[in-house]
Amino acid sequence: MIAEAGLAALWLAAGLAAFQMVLMLLALKSDVDVVRPMRAVAVVQGALTLIAFAMLLLVFARSDMSVKLVFENSHSAKPFIYKVAGAWGNHEGSMLMWVTILAVAGAFVALFSRRTSERTLIAGLGSQAVLALGFYAFLLIASNPLARLFPAPPDGRGLNPLLQDPGLAFHPPTLYLGYVGLSVAFSLAVGALLTGEVDSRLARAMRPWVLGAWVLLTLGITAGSYWAYYELGWGGYWFWDPVENASLMPWLAATALLHSINVLAARGALKAWTMMLAVIAFSMSMVGTFLVRSGILTSVHAFAIDPERGTFLLALLAIYVGAAFILFAVRGAALKEGAPFELISRESGLVINNLLLSVILGVVFLGTLYPLFVEAVSGEKLSVGAPYFNAVAGPLALLLAALVGIGPLLSWRRQRRPVFGQLKLPALLAASALVITIILAPAIGILPRLGFTVAAFLAAASVLPLTGRNPLRAPFATWGMVVAHFGIAVALTGMAANAAFSSERLAIAKPGETLNVGPWLVQLKDVTPTAGKNYTALEAELRATRGEKFIVLNPQTHYYSDPPTETNESAIRTFWNGQLYTVLGRSDPSGGWQLRLWWKPFVTLIWAGGGLIAFGGALALLGRILRRRRRREPDWRTRYI
């Protein structure tokens, strides 16, 4: 009954979404006041999908093998937390989660949005409902998550052991929340283009959603990067894999949107451009979801392409994004540009930021999809890898990071005094970083060296907006910006240090043998079998020392039986100045074991920086919400109830 109740809720929600679409058309055609039913229906629709998703969680929690999805993705012997996480660790469940977040976001807009005009709100909620409607159709027609299986099998087929990891259990929901947060920006932009009311009120209504989505995307990417680093056992933090790029592209677009939306909110300028970015940001989320869910770019691996589902998603993507682009082409011309600004001003600084981010986005987009098009045209198979992305996107990102230090010092509309006076200290630090790396590490590459230089400059320049006044009285939004920009410098330092100073050792060692990596001497004591809850394992005992007393690391190889899979569990020890990273490989006929050892100086700064960037965004979001509370406008609820 649980599964059927969930399915019924899903059908009802789809019906309500269709009703919202009718309401929107009604409101756009005539002057009927539908704001109250629209808000109410949006809230109920959100509640219904939430119920459907809760039912799915429930059948997974109870290991109800009569539900096909549970049978395929779960197992009664699995730890409880992964049983629940199994609900979204698969295609159907994750699509239900996606539409749930979409509908709940719509409900939140309906409950709390007071900034836009009523017409734009109606059009925005209607657009959100149309988005949801497509995904309801997708779920109900092509991938029903609550389908039954008869007769019910005794036990399930397990979950990919790589997915039995707390990081991965919570990674997709974070990214999805980010993706779908951008759907609100998309819907509001489409709504505003429909009504022609693109103004600073709209920007202020969109801003918290964009900020929130951006914070979650930042967290998701940072966490995903760390997950790949410790779980895959390859020692890298970013592989330019299509699936990774799929999460990076919406982030780049959202970052650009986050900055241009401030221009629209403060100055009423960059109207068309901001609407375009709002459309692109969510389009990139849909492209990302499509790439991951259709398995199209990873088809070399065992991922099965399901043409029906892939086609359905692609059609949704084409319809929504195409409609938004056409709307933009038709209505974009009618948008009057706002207040003018001069060449050296905060506005043009943000325009340059947007241009650089867009070019990087283009570079990543091209690199991700290029192999596909070459194959379509010439039949030749090729792959675009890190060398392309690093060589093309790297310098652009460095340039952007350097300009991040300068932009916030400019004033709106026109910068009267030259800013260089303020930048003496950062410039001095940058020059010293350059000189020091040339003297102490003459052999490192040009990009890491420039990375250190730019990071030193940015670290000092990013805190300048807090100087010259009482920093405690600066608004949260300013603090957020400073923290996020400082986070970029921190992450950049980590990347440069990792690129310049990592040492790697791949070797076959017999028990008792000692290997050296970087400043470390690592001795393989022994390899012993051990067992976990649903796997058996081999565990190595490594003793590592760099002069003082030794530390023990225990990398493992896990063997899962259902389905038969083998994973490497790295052992990582973090120190203030870096990480020692060890992986146990296969045994060798000679009686030795393959060992992979890395010493990675300051590599943790990469994720610390990512965390700081997200924290900065959260601070800014908090500031916006608190400020809104302080000057509360008349509440719609008090007006209507």
Partner 1 sequence: MSRGLRLVPIVLLIWMVAGLAWRLVKPFDPAIQSQLVSRELPTFALAPAVPGKPGLASTDLAGGEPRLLNIFASWCVPCVGEATVLNELRRRGVKIDAIAVRDTPEAVAAFLNRHGDPYERIGADPQSNVQITLGSSGVPETFVVDGRGIIRHQYVGPLSASNIPGVLTQLKGAK
Confirm or reject binding of residue 372 to partner 1 (CB under 8 A).
yes
Confirm or reject binding of residue 333 to partner 1 (CB under 8 A).
yes
Q: Residue 87 phi/psi, 5° resolution?
A: -60, -35
Confirm or reject binding of residue 282 to partner 1 (CB under 8 A).
no
What is d(CA 190, CA 196) in angstroms, rounded to the nearest whole number?
A: 10
Shortest CA distance to 211 belongs to which of 487, 607, 484, 413?
484
Binding residues among 510-539 for partner 1 as defined by CB under 8 A: none
CB-nearer residue toward partner 1: 382 or 428: 382
Confirm or reject binding of residue 326 to partner 1 (CB under 8 A).
yes
The CA-CA-CA angle for residues 468, 471, 473, to 5°, reads 115
Side-chain-side CA neighbours of residue 559 (13 Å): 10
Judged by CB under 8 A, the residue of 468, 512, 589, 634 near partner 1 is 589
Binding span for partner 1 by CB under 8 A among 117-125, 199-207, 259-267, 371-379: 371-379
Confirm or reject binding of residue 369 to partner 1 (CB under 8 A).
yes
Query: Quick check: bond before 601 cis, omega within 30?
Result: no
CB-nearer residue toward partner 1: 290 or 520: 290
Residue 162: is it exposed, middle or buried by C-beta count within 10 angstroms (0-12/13-18/19+)? middle
Judged by CB under 8 A, the residue of 5, 47, 243, 296 near partner 1 is 296
CB-nearer residue toward partner 1: 73 or 283: 283
Confirm or reject binding of residue 384 to partner 1 (CB under 8 A).
no
Confirm or reject binding of residue 325 to partner 1 (CB under 8 A).
yes
Q: Say how many residues make up the chain.
A: 641
Q: How far is the CB of 251 from partner 1 (least distance, A)?
A: 19
Judged by CB under 8 A, the residue of 137, 272, 386, 434 near partner 1 is 272
Beta bridge partners of 568: 557
Q: How many CB atoms lie within 10 A of CB 362?
A: 14
Element holding 514 (H helix, E strand) = strand 514-517
3-state secondary structure of 504: strand
Confirm or reject binding of residue 435 to partner 1 (CB under 8 A).
no
Binding residues among 145-184 for partner 1 as defined by CB under 8 A: none
Query: Contact 107/183 with Cβ under 8 angstroms?
Result: no
Confirm or reject binding of residue 314 to partner 1 (CB under 8 A).
yes
3-state secondary structure of 222: helix
Confirm or reject binding of residue 634 to partner 1 (CB under 8 A).
no
Give, in order, the Cα–Cα distances in Å from 340 to each of 256, 269, 345.
Answer: 20, 7, 11
Confirm or reject binding of residue 446 to partner 1 (CB under 8 A).
no
Judged by CB under 8 A, the residue of 15, 37, 236, 310 near partner 1 is 310
Confirm or reject binding of residue 592 to partner 1 (CB under 8 A).
no
Query: For partner 1, how many residues bind (rule: CB under 8 A)?
Result: 32
CB-nearer residue toward partner 1: 154 or 307: 307
Confirm or reject binding of residue 318 to partner 1 (CB under 8 A).
yes
Binding span for partner 1 by CB under 8 A among 208-216, 311-319, 533-541, 633-641: 311-319
Rama region for 593: left / alpha / beta (φ>0; ψ in -120 to 50; rest): beta
What's the one-letter identity of residue 304? A
Confirm or reject binding of residue 294 to partner 1 (CB under 8 A).
yes
Side-chain-side CA neighbours of residue 472 (13 Å): 0
Binding span for partner 1 by CB under 8 A among 51-59, 118-126, 312-320, 630-638: 312-320
3-state secondary structure of 352: helix
What's the one-letter identity of residue 210? V
Beta bridge partners of 552: 543
Confirm or reject binding of residue 641 to partner 1 (CB under 8 A).
no
Shortest CA distance to 41 belongs to which of 70, 15, 59, 66?
15
Side-chain-side CA neighbours of residue 435 (13 Å): 6
Confirm or reject binding of residue 302 to partner 1 (CB under 8 A).
no
CB-nearer residue toward partner 1: 283 or 493: 283
Judged by CB under 8 A, the residue of 40, 141, 147, 305 near partner 1 is 305
Which residues of the shown chain bind partner 1 in the complex (CB under 8 A)?
Answer: 272, 276, 280, 283, 287, 290, 294, 296, 299-300, 305, 307, 310-311, 314, 317-318, 321-322, 325-326, 328-329, 332-333, 369, 372-373, 375-376, 381, 589
